[in-house]
Chain A
Amino acid sequence: MTIAPELSDRVLTELADAIGGEHVLTSKTARYNRARVPAPFPVHRWPERVPDLVVLPGSTEEVAEVVRIANAHRIPIVPRDGGTGLTDGAVPEHRGIVVDVKRLNQIKEIDLENRTCTVGTGINALKLNEVLAEHGLIYPDDPASYPCSLVGGRIGTSGWSLVGSRYGHSRDLVLSFEFVLPTGKVIHLGDGGGRKISKSSSGYQLKHLFMGHQGTLGIATEATLKLFPKPEAELSPFWAFPDYDSAYRCVGQLARAGIATFAGAVLFDEWKVDYLRRDDEAYIPQPADVRALVCAVAYGYEDEVRAGGKRLLRIAKDCGARYLGDEISQGDWAARHDRYATPLHGRTRSGQVAPMSWHCEDAAINYTELPGVRLEWHAIVERLRARFDVFDDWGMFCYTSANTGVDYLTEIDIGIWEQELGDEAWAAWVDAKREIAAVALRAGGSISACHGSCREGEVDLVPLELGGGYDVMLDVKRAVDPNNIMNPGKYGLQRAYAAERGAGA
């Protein structure tokens, strides 16, 4: 494995010459604050992840220059964008240089005829949509982190969008991008060679390979995105159910109905409803006999949304749903982004309120497997809670991943009282993560539908999930990044170099 040499003055000078001294940050605060993402890596181990320095390049050429310098000196590089990723992707495991791309946030072109825009990867979708709105357009990549994640991080994680059943997810919405390889070479990746092509069959489909790699294959600097008409109407009905099973049946039927304006459906299980009732101020309280909630969302023109909506409401009614009314529906759906990660919501077993961090495990699970996975996951967390009083079960969501309802983003949210988290509890948590991932695999699912799986725990199971595909990953990694400078350690990819050097994995 490559190790960073001490960063010499020579490297600093080269970097400063390449991008300007004020964009090379060496202060402790700059470095500590680039060693942080929302979900806890135990705070007492924060210093283990601190990079040696941070650079803020301002263009593709500058990124390429930084990468060339790092490659020449064999210094690890970690791409960082919003820093909202939940698997530590943007946090260094082996120090080195954090390449923070937030300054690449220009809108370079809005092509009204072909319905695309080209942006720097440091831009945020919410900010982009403020500009697109003037043209009646929208870029519909809408994660719950919509106000804070940035386009480069969406490419780095191949993120998942709440309204993906209608518009697709990041991988479908990003048509092509400019990409700096670990050697510093700049290439363009998309379907075929074009910049604004959505479907091509010439060559390998490299676009997918270079998305979701968590910064292990290079750095995306500029992206061309697909745009849609800004929806004229939105319908977001919320329904209450007396039990999980009927809510589960309902979600399946909504998703399978094939309604064109259908953009997604969510199911909150009993644990989630209890948590919301207990601790979520934005949640509009429901009577105690409400045990599960379903919401759907549809986007489109007024007339088509109204027609499709009627059908959605009818389906839900037939499943025994109680419609919660327009006010609750609109309010709760509007709160969907902010509902995540409000702290102070954790409770110890005795009910004491404690400031807790949000940790969410996500997986892609087929519809038929959802009920089983759910019970197994809650049981794992329950066992953990019995041993340590720093964990809380905040319940589960599942969201449609596709317009046919084949699979679901399934997530369990766990509160962790990080201030009190010691090594023993952390180790138990890492074990629990491994178990959670194993359940997903046994059910024929994937460890992650959205965040990736680079973290201690689930990362160990990636080779198992991918089977022989993982060996191809190792080959690709070695071929693209001969010196293992890109985000070393992530996805266990150091293994790609071990054989070559005759050292152990």
Chain B
Amino acid sequence: MTEAPDHHHSPVTVEFLSDWRNASYNCFSSGHKFCREVCPVMQVTRNESWTPTAFHANVVAMEKGELTVEDVAEDYVNCTQCGACELRCPNTLFTGDFYRFRTRTVDLVKQMRALAVDNGVHQPGYQRWNQLTDERTHEPVLGEVPVSQEHVRDWSAGLDIPIGGETILFVDCEAAFYRTSVPRAVAQILQRAGVEFGLMREQWCCGGPAAEMGYRDQAKRFAEHNLADWRASGVKRVLVLDPHDYITFTEDYPAYFGEDYEIEVVLVVELLAKLITEGKLTPEIPIERTITYHDPCRLNKRKGVWQEPRQILRSIPGLTFNDVDRVTQWSYCSGGGGGLPVEKPELTAKISENRLAKAAELEVDTLVSACPWSERPLSAAGEAHRIDVVDIHELLAESLGIEVGGSRGA
């Protein structure tokens, strides 16, 4: 008995399928799953339904009328949008330039989540999360942390940072409300180097998480708010410390606003590496730790930023740095991205545990990350291994003799 195909897709679905038909077929037709073993979700679940190739195959099956949005929606939760699969895919490696085609699994997952929402199919966790974000203009940030417009600048208490100016520092919700030691470290280092910057007048969540979970309209509304705020206070440059924001501002915002988007986006890690090279910052206080570096997915895999953080770490005296090459790191992820912890915290925990087990093999006492969203799950997993999880900015501040303050989480 074969199941009766359903050909009654909604108009948005029909449009989606015509957009993705060939791209999905291109993966389906190879179907070799070279991508599979690098996928962090696959590594912990071993469930073939949650692999890049399945994500593409579902589209082919929908196009054939065999599956519906309702059938597939939930599977797309199981992705951190880390981008490892794209890098490992021969379509990207070999045919990318030749035919101007690369496998875009991350984009597909995002679009499929959006398609589900457009069809009224919601994941309860995502729905709640985005509703709370909408009410508070900030992500709820798991736990009991008070999140609101009144508190968004609390992290900077006592640092004397002005509001507005040509350059502002944008702090993601997790760092602003939970791991406040990170933005404090960043702000003080920048002050030390003489970089002038201010804070936003009214900062809302960047909208990236809403976009990642499929709430397109909300994501765009948030983006519009932030851009309007920047424009109103004459902002020309936005400094970003969080890799997720960096993706949102350099990929989503230009897609929303096109030519009109005149803001320069600067990744703090890159800026700091430059300041060190130029001699404007000199880490001097030795830090006696044995570390390894966790390449945040959105920097290494998605943006190709992997040299600068290493440059910073190599400039810090006292560190023993047991590095792993960036390609090996393609299969590492903290599990903290792409909304996974909202719907599947247990998977996030397992992925973090995997990451820490790799670090433990290198016999380190510290894992350095450069992404606030990775640090909570990594820290939790680090406890069992007695490995401390530190943000690269915190570490640099320490070597510069800065008393950081703030909270490193619960």
Q: Please list the residues of chain A having a beta carbon within 8 angstroms of any beta carbon in chain B.
A: 25, 27-30, 32-34, 36-38, 40, 43-44, 46-48, 50, 56, 82-84, 100, 102-103, 105, 122, 124, 126-127, 134, 145, 147-148, 279-282, 335, 337-345, 353, 355-358, 418-419
Q: B99, A44: Cβ atoms under 8 Å?
A: no
Nearest CB in chain B to that of A33: its residue = B54
Q: A344, B95: Cβ atoms under 8 Å?
A: yes
Q: A44-B64, A46-B66, A48-B2 are in contact. Are A343 and B37 (CB under 8 A)?
A: no
Q: A281, B98: Cβ atoms under 8 Å?
A: yes
Chain B residue contacts of A281, Cβ below 8 A? 94-95, 97-98
Most chain A CB within a 10 A radius of its CB, from B22, B25, B67, B97: B25
Cα(A337)–Cα(B89), bound, Å: 12
* B2, chain A: closest CB distance, angstroms: 4
Most chain A CB within a 10 A radius of its CB, from B2, B33, B67: B33
Nearest first, the 6 A-B pairs at minimum CB distance are A102-B46, A357-B29, A38-B31, A281-B98, A47-B2, A33-B54
Cα(A344)–Cα(B22), bound, Å: 10
Q: B71, A343: Cβ atoms under 8 Å?
A: no
Nearest CB in chain A to that of B3: its residue = A47
* A55, chain B: closest CB distance, angstroms: 11
* A100, chain B: closest CB distance, angstroms: 7
Q: A147-B88, A357-B30 are in contact. Are A280 and B48 (CB under 8 A)?
A: no
Q: Does B101 contact A (CB under 8 A)?
A: yes
Q: B3, A148: Cβ atoms under 8 Å?
A: no
Instruction: Report B226-261 residues with CB < 8 Å from chain A CB.
Output: none
Nearest CB in chain B to that of A146: its residue = B34
Cα(A211)–Cα(B167), bound, Å: 66
Cα(A477)–Cα(B88), bound, Å: 40
Q: Does B400 contact A (CB under 8 A)?
A: no
* B86, chain A: closest CB distance, angstroms: 14
Q: A342, B90: Cβ atoms under 8 Å?
A: yes
Report, as a range, how many residues of chain B touch the other chain.
35 or more
Nearest CB in chain B to that of A337: its residue = B34
Q: Does B185 contact A (CB under 8 A)?
A: no
Chain A residue contacts of B91, Cβ below 8 A? 342-344
- Of B55-63, B299-307, B311-319, the one touching chain A: B55-63
Q: Which of B3, B25, B58 contacts A29 (CB 8 A)?
A: B58
Nearest CB in chain A to that of B48: its residue = A33
Q: Does B26 contact A (CB under 8 A)?
A: yes
Chain B residue contacts of A48, Cβ below 8 A? 2
Chain A residue contacts of B98, Cβ below 8 A? 279, 281
Scoring B residues 33 to 51 as 1 if CB is less than 8 Å from chain A, else 0, what string do you get? 1101100000000111100
Additional A-B contacts beyond A38-B30, A48-B2, A102-B47 (18; CB < 8 A): A25-B47, A27-B49, A27-B74, A28-B71, A29-B58, A32-B66, A33-B57, A36-B57, A43-B64, A47-B66, A83-B33, A126-B37, A147-B88, A282-B93, A343-B95, A344-B26, A344-B95, A418-B29
Q: B37, A147: Cβ atoms under 8 Å?
A: yes
* A123, chain B: closest CB distance, angstroms: 10
Instruction: Report B63-109 residues with CB < 8 Å from chain A CB.
Output: 64, 66-67, 71-72, 74-75, 88, 90-91, 93-95, 97-99, 101
Chain B residue contacts of A356, Cβ below 8 A? 29
Q: B54, A43: Cβ atoms under 8 Å?
A: no
Cα(A32)–Cα(B71), bound, Å: 11
Q: Does B221 contact A (CB under 8 A)?
A: no
Nearest CB in chain A to that of B68: its residue = A28
Q: A29-B71, A29-B75 are in contact. Are A338 and B66 (CB under 8 A)?
A: no
Chain B residue contacts of A124, Cβ below 8 A? 37
Q: Which of A40, A126, A134, A280 contacts B29 (CB 8 A)?
A: A40
Q: A25-B49, A353-B99, A357-B29 are in contact. Are A338 and B94 (CB under 8 A)?
A: yes
Cα(A485)–Cα(B74), bound, Å: 32
Q: B60, A43: Cβ atoms under 8 Å?
A: yes
Q: A32, B99: Cβ atoms under 8 Å?
A: no
Q: A47-B3, A338-B93 are in contact. Are A355 and B29 (CB under 8 A)?
A: yes
Cα(A335)–Cα(B95), bound, Å: 13
Cα(A341)–Cα(B34), bound, Å: 10
Q: A148, B34: Cβ atoms under 8 Å?
A: yes
Q: A47-B2, A342-B95, A344-B91 are in contact. Are A29 and B33 (CB under 8 A)?
A: no
Q: B30, A50: Cβ atoms under 8 Å?
A: no
Nearest CB in chain B to that of A147: its residue = B34
Cα(A357)–Cα(B99), bound, Å: 16
Cα(A281)–Cα(B95), bound, Å: 6
Nearest CB in chain B to that of A39: its residue = B31
Chain A residue contacts of B29, Cβ below 8 A? 40, 343, 355-358, 418
Q: Which of A27, A148, A345, A357 contacts B36 (CB 8 A)?
A: A148
Cα(A342)–Cα(B91), bound, Å: 6
Most chain A CB within a 10 A radius of its CB, from B34, B54, B58: B34
Cα(A282)–Cα(B361), bound, Å: 35
Q: Does B32 contact A (CB under 8 A)?
A: yes
- Show 27 A/B contacts (Cβ-Cβ < 8 Å), sorted by A: A29-B58, A32-B57, A32-B58, A33-B49, A33-B57, A36-B28, A37-B31, A38-B32, A50-B2, A56-B46, A84-B32, A102-B46, A124-B37, A147-B88, A148-B37, A281-B97, A281-B98, A341-B30, A341-B31, A341-B32, A341-B90, A344-B95, A353-B99, A355-B25, A357-B29, A358-B29, A419-B25
Cα(A145)–Cα(B30), bound, Å: 12
Q: Which of A29, A127, A419 contacts B37 (CB 8 A)?
A: A127
Q: A342, B71: Cβ atoms under 8 Å?
A: no
Q: A29-B54, A47-B66 are in contact. Are A282 and B34 (CB under 8 A)?
A: no
Q: B71, A27: Cβ atoms under 8 Å?
A: yes
Instruction: Report B1-25 residues with CB < 8 Å from chain A CB.
Output: 2-3, 5, 22, 25
Cα(A263)–Cα(B36), bound, Å: 28
Cα(A335)–Cα(B98), bound, Å: 16
Nearest CB in chain A to that of B91: its residue = A342
Chain A residue contacts of B22, Cβ below 8 A? 355
Chain B residue contacts of A103, Cβ below 8 A? 46
Chain A residue contacts of B71, Cβ below 8 A? 27-29
Chain A residue contacts of B31, Cβ below 8 A? 36-38, 341, 357
Cα(A320)–Cα(B3), bound, Å: 60
Q: B49, A30: Cβ atoms under 8 Å?
A: yes
Q: A355, B46: Cβ atoms under 8 Å?
A: no
* A311, chain B: closest CB distance, angstroms: 33
Chain B residue contacts of A47, Cβ below 8 A? 2-3, 5, 66
* A66, chain B: closest CB distance, angstroms: 16
Cα(A30)–Cα(B26), bound, Å: 20
Most chain A CB within a 10 A radius of its CB, from B5, B29, B48, B66: B29
Cα(A335)–Cα(B36), bound, Å: 18
Chain B residue contacts of A279, Cβ below 8 A? 98
Cα(A337)–Cα(B57), bound, Å: 22
Chain B residue contacts of A340, Cβ below 8 A? 32
Cα(A46)–Cα(B27), bound, Å: 16
Cα(A339)–Cα(B48), bound, Å: 23
Chain A residue contacts of B2, Cβ below 8 A? 47-48, 50
Q: B3, A50: Cβ atoms under 8 Å?
A: yes
* B376, chain A: closest CB distance, angstroms: 25
Cα(A46)–Cα(B30), bound, Å: 15
Nearest CB in chain B to that of A134: its residue = B361
Q: B28, A43: Cβ atoms under 8 Å?
A: yes
Cα(A134)–Cα(B32), bound, Å: 28
* B93, chain A: closest CB distance, angstroms: 6
* A384, chain B: closest CB distance, angstroms: 18
Q: A338, B34: Cβ atoms under 8 Å?
A: yes
Cα(A105)–Cα(B178), bound, Å: 37
Chain B residue contacts of A122, Cβ below 8 A? 46
Cα(A84)–Cα(B36), bound, Å: 11
